[in-house]
Every structure is written in structure tokens, then in C-alpha cells.
């Protein structure tokens, strides 16, 4: 009986790859650190028993059909799975999994707070100023920022990552916590004296707003013109969730008109492009009160290794006839 064949669409932390090979599976990895060309993906997927793609790979019915009827699992190397056609997979009897883990939760929460602190204390502006040799001596008026202590953090999406951000906000910085979600999180309320409220009221009251929702039809452009109009002019927005959750054009207008104080953005609506439209002369990179990071919120050694192992464990479970650890749902 031939060994199960697993195709991996990009090299990454190799603990999971080693585990799959130790199991006796035939594992092939695309050898370039870039998005695999579509034509090659269709070719390499053919005959595989398990496909291990990244969030940058569009896994639709064409790919699933190219793989063949023996394909049992698509183990997406990401917490999100909006790049996989779940309906097409279900129709073909293919299991789809993702890679949530405590390590990922903590890494994204840390990055969220890094953006919040950098925005509040104007770190990137001050860094650029100092490196440009503009600093001529101390002044009481240089780069006046704002405290986090005592401010109100509004969390939109109080799941695992949102809760990790909440813990840091309350226990570490003495912030007040408000949140909104599809349902109340009683544990969050008990642990951090969090207050549940509808999104519109949250936007009106929060000094910092942090997004932690998946990309769904219902969350696309969740934050748009009306939402920015509800925010305080002193409020900061942080997005480490998915780019299209925020309407980029509405964000640009809000920044241009100083409707909000600034934004920390790790994900982009037209990713990998930083700006969707370069003809409107409103580029995110041109605003000094905007901090941009290239989708690296979960980029720690610990998180990447954990994601690798979760993906491998899902594959090993399914190919052994067992239930997956983290089915996408």
C-alpha cells in the first residue's frame, strides 16, 4: 500500500513536517517562500491525501477537484480559513481544519498591545524623528502622547484572542473594558469586570478599539463610515483580525478628516497591497498616526511551531480515521 502523500504549499516551522515524515508519510514542500503559482498548485495537489496550504492560497473547488477523490483533509496553516471554500469541501467529503492554539492567541494579543502602546506613545513617529537627527534636546512638548492607564478599551470579538487582549489591558494597564460579540462572555465579565454592550455604544465610549472577529459576509466592512462617525475623535483603532473587516476608503477618510486619532493595522483589505487604490492620493503609509505591520501578529517562534504541530496532528488524525483536533467551523 503506497504511503499517504501530503503536499505543503510553502516552507514554514518544520516541527510539523518532521512529525509527518516520522509517521512514514511522503511529504513534499514547495521550496520557495512565496505564494505558490496557481498552475503549480493545481499540478502538485493531484493525488495528494492531505493538502497543507497557507491563508495566501485560494483553495476552491477547482483545487479540490484537481487533487482527486482520495483527498481527505485540507489542513489550513492559519487560524482563519476564509481562503478555503468550505461548502465545496463538504460537498466532496473533505475535512477542513485550522490551527488555533494558546501560543497563537498570546502572540496576536501581544502584537495588538504593541500597536496600542506604539500609537498611544507615538513610538514610530519619535523613532523616525530621532533617526533623522532632528532631536536637538529635551522639550516638554515633544511627541505628547496619551496614557493607557484608566482608558477604556473596546473589544469587538471576545473570543480567545480578544480575551487575551482583555487580560493584558485590565491586569497590566488598569484599563476599563467593554466588549461586544454575538453573545455575552460571562467568564470575561467575571474575570475583568467587562461590560457587554452593542457595537454602536461601544464605538462611542471606547478610547481604543481592537478588532478580533473572523472574516465572514457579516463582518466584511464591519467598520465603515457610520462606525467611524460614532467614534471619539481621540480614539485609536487596531486591526489584527482580517483586512476586509475595515472599509479602507472609510478609514482613509476618517484619518484625513481627523475623525479618529490614529490606527494600528496589521492586515489590509487588498492584501498583500497596502492600499487598494493608489489613484486617490490617500495612502495609509502617508499618515504619521498610522502604524503598519505586514501581517505579523502571530509571527513568533513559539506560535509558528504550535501552528505547524496542530496542522500535522490534524492530518495524522484524519488519515488514521480519527476525528480532527480543530475542524474549521
Instruction: List the catalytic residues.
Output: 242, 271, 295
Q: Measure the CA–CA gap between 234 and 228, rounded to whole angstroms.
A: 11
Segment 64-87 mean pLDDT: 95
Model confidence pLDDT, tens digit, residues 29-62:
999 999 999 999 999 999 999 999 999 999 999 9
Domain boundaries, the chain: 5-98+302-319, 102-292
Is pLDDT of 329 > 90?
no
Q: Which residues contact 64 (CB under 8 A, 6 or more apart)?
A: 71, 74, 85, 88, 89, 92, 94
- What pLDDT score was predicted for residue 150? 97
- What pLDDT score was predicted for residue 79? 87
Q: Which residues of 2-21 are buried (b: 16+ CB within 10 A; e: fewer)?
A: eebbbbbbbebbeebbebbe
- What pLDDT score was predicted for residue 119? 98
For 231, the grid coordinates are 467614534
Segment 211-216 mean pLDDT: 94
Q: Measure the CA–CA gap between 244 and 12, rounded to whole angstroms.
A: 25
Domains 5-98+302-319 and 102-292 share a fold: yes
Q: Within 13 A of 139's CA, how many CA atoms are on the CB side?
A: 9
At 251, the pLDDT band (50, 70, 90 cuts) reads: very high
Is pLDDT of 213 > 90?
yes
Model confidence pLDDT, tens digit, residues 215-238:
999 999 999 999 999 999 999 999
Which fold, 5-98+302-319?
A: Rossmann fold (3.40.50)
Model confidence pLDDT, tens digit, residues 136-151:
999 999 999 999 999 9
For 284, the grid coordinates are 495609509
In order of 112, 156, 166, 183, 194, the CA distances from 187 in angstroms are: 21, 16, 12, 12, 9
In order of 29, 65, 184, the CA distances from 71 in angstroms are: 17, 9, 39
Share of the chain above pLDDT 90, in %: 94
Given CATH 3.40.50.10860, say whether it is the number of domain 102-292: no
- What pLDDT score was predicted for residue 1? 62
Per the DSSP assignment, residues forming a β-bridge with 210 are: 155, 238
Segment 184-195 mean pLDDT: 96
At 67, the pLDDT band (50, 70, 90 cuts) reads: very high
Q: Measure the CA–CA gap between 51 and 59, rounded to whole angstroms.
A: 10
Segment 118-141 mean pLDDT: 95
In order of 240, 249, 312, the CA distances from 253 in angstroms are: 20, 6, 44
At 13, the pLDDT band (50, 70, 90 cuts) reads: confident
Identify whether the C-beta of residue 76 lies closer than 8 Å to the C-beta of residue 97: yes
Amino acid at each position: 500500500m503506497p504511503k499517504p502523500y501530503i503536499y505543503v504549499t510553502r516552507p514554514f516551522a518544520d516541527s510539523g513536517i518532521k512529525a509527518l515524515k516520522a509517521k512514514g508519510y511522503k511529504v513534499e514542500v514547495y521550496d520557495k517562500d512565496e505564494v505558490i503559482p496557481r498552475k503549480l498548485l493545481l499540478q502538485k495537489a493531484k493525488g495528494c491525501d492531505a493538502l497543507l496550504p497557507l491563508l495566501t492560497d485560494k483553495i476552491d473547488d477547482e483545487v479540490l477537484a484537481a487533487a482527486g477523490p482520495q483527498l481527505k483533509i485540507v489542513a489550513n496553516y492559519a487560524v482563519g480559513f476564509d481562503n478555503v471554500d468550505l461548502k465545496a469541501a463538504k460537498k466532496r467529503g473533505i475535512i477542513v481544519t485550522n490551527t488555533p492554539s494558546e501560543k497563537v492567541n498570546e502572540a496576536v494579543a501581544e502584537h495588538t498591545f504593541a500597536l496600542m502602546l506604539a500609537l498611544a506613545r507615538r513610538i514610530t513617529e519619535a523613532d523616525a524623528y530621532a533617526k533623522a537627527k532632528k532631536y536637538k534636546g529635551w522639550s516638554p512638548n515633544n511627541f505628547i502622547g496619551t496614557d493607557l492607564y484608566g482608558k477604556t478599551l473596546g473589544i469587538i470579538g471576545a473570543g480567545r484572542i480578544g480575551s487575551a487582549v482583555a487580560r493584558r489591558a485590565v491586569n497590566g494597564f488598569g484599563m476599563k473594558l467593554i466588549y461586544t460579540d454575538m453573545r455575552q462572555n460571562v467568564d470575561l465579565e467575571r474575570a475583568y469586570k467587562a461590560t457587554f454592550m452593542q457595537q454602536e455604544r461601544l464605538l462611542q465610549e471606547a478610547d481604543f478599539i481592537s478588532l478580533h472577529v473572523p472574516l465572514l459576509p457579516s463582518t466584511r466592512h464591519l467598520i465603515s463610515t457610520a462606525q467611524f462617525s460614532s467614534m471619539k475623535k481621540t480614539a485609536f483603532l487596531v486591526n489584527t483580525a482580517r483586512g476586509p473587516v475595515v472599509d479602507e476608503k472609510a478609514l482613509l477618510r476618517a484619518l484625513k478628516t481627523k475623525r479618529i486619532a490614529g490606527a494600528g493595522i496589521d492586515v489590509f483589505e487588498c492584501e498583500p497591497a497596502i492600499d487598494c487604490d493608489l489613484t486617490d492620493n490617500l495612502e495609509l503609509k502617508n499618515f504619521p498616526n498610522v502604524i503598519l505591520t505586514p501581517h505579523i501578529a502571530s509571527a513568533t517562534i513559539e506560535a509558528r511551531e504550535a501552528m505547524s504541530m496542530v496542522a500535522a496532528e490534524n492530518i495524522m488524525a484524519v488519515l488514521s480515521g480519527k476525528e480532527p483536533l480543530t475542524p474549521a467551523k
